[in-house]
Chains A and B, each alone.
Chain A
Amino acid sequence: KNQVEQSPQSLIILEGKNCTLQCNYTVSPFSNLRWYKQDTGRGPVSLTIMTFSENTKSNGRYTATLDADTKQSSLHITASQLSDSASYICVVSRPTGGGNKLTFGTGTQLKVEL
């Protein structure tokens, strides 16, 4: 069964600290893996997208890693800010007849406090 599991479910950290969010998937075959940030009551916004051959990609203070052999990904946030408070969603794309299908994780809810 094609699934995407994220951990932890929620996380609280102090401003300025680093954190790492985890994503494990069983989706097969694999096209790419994406991380999205979703603010409360808003639509998701893309942070990174990685293909099979990429094992790390950065976007400012966000760095995503991918281990396609173990089917694991992580999102590392450096020097967190209050504005990082959001849900972070891991999404895996797989090819299907005529297109690609996305499987979404349930997200990690991050809260950054003073």
Chain B
Amino acid sequence: DGGITQSPKYLFRKEGQNVTLSCEQNLNHDAMYWYRQDPGQGLRLIYYSQIVNDFQKGDIAEGYSVSREKKESFPLTVTSAQKNPTAFYLCASSINLAESSYEQYFGPGTRLTVT
């Protein structure tokens, strides 16, 4: 899991509630990412950020929001607009976005269950 922490490990919410997932890294990486993992599917990119105060939508950004106020932190909010929020959420970071050879390091993940 390197120097990336995600909290909490398990999260339960009622439908209609917003919930924020935490991601912190101490690797001094510029780029950070949020992925969603569902059974039988590959990881899908939700949002990414290559620098503080800047972030871009990934492939499945609808119903999610992020902020990047500090280099170390990239919280993800799952809003009530997300139709199928129950999933395993993974945060990752890399030195920067542009260099393809740079490794992406993943956090331990947060499993969100919405009922």
Question: B106–A43 contact, CB under 8 A?
Answer: yes
Check B106 against A44 for contact (C-beta < 8 Å).
Answer: yes
Given contacts A106-B40, A107-B42, contact A42 B101 (CB under 8 A): no
Question: Would you call A102 and B90 a contact (CB within 8 A)?
Answer: no
In the assembled complex, the Cα of A113 lies from the Cα of B22 at a distance in Å of 36
Counting CB contacts under 8 A, is B100 at the interface? yes
Across the interface, B111 reaches (CB within 8 A) one of A31, A41, A100, A101, namely: A41
- On B, residues with C-beta under 8 Å from A are 1, 4, 40-45, 50, 88, 90, 92, 97-101, 103-109, 111
Give how many A-B residue pairs fall within 8 Å (CB-CB): 57
When C-beta atoms are compared, the residue in chain A nearest to B58 turns out to be: A101
Q: Indicate the size class of the contact surface on chain A.
A: 20 to 34
Smallest beta-carbon distance B89→chain A, Å: 10
Check A104 against B100 for contact (C-beta < 8 Å): no
Given contacts A4-B42, A42-B109, contact A102 B104 (CB under 8 A): yes
In the bound complex, how far is the Cα of B97 from the Cα of A93, in angstroms?
12
- Main SS class of interface, A: strand
Residues 1-54 (chain A) with a chain B CB within 8 angstroms = 4, 31-32, 41-46, 49, 51
B106 contacts A45, C-beta separation under 8 Å:
yes
Interface of B is mostly: loop
Q: How far is the CB of B95 from chain A (nearest CB, A)?
A: 12
Inter-subunit contact A42/B40 (CB<8 Å): no
Is the CB–CB distance between A42 and B1 below 8 Å?
A: yes
A residues near B108, Cβ cutoff 8 Å:
42-43
Q: Which residues of B contact A44 (CB under 8 A)?
A: 43, 90, 106
Which residue from B40, B97, B101 sits with its C-beta under 8 Å from A49? Answer: B101
| Interchain CB contact under 8 A, A102 and B45 | yes
Chain B residues with Cβ under 8 A from A60's Cβ?
none
Min CB gap A114→B, angstroms: 27
Residues A43 and B100 in contact in the complex (CB < 8 Å), given A102-B45, A106-B42: no
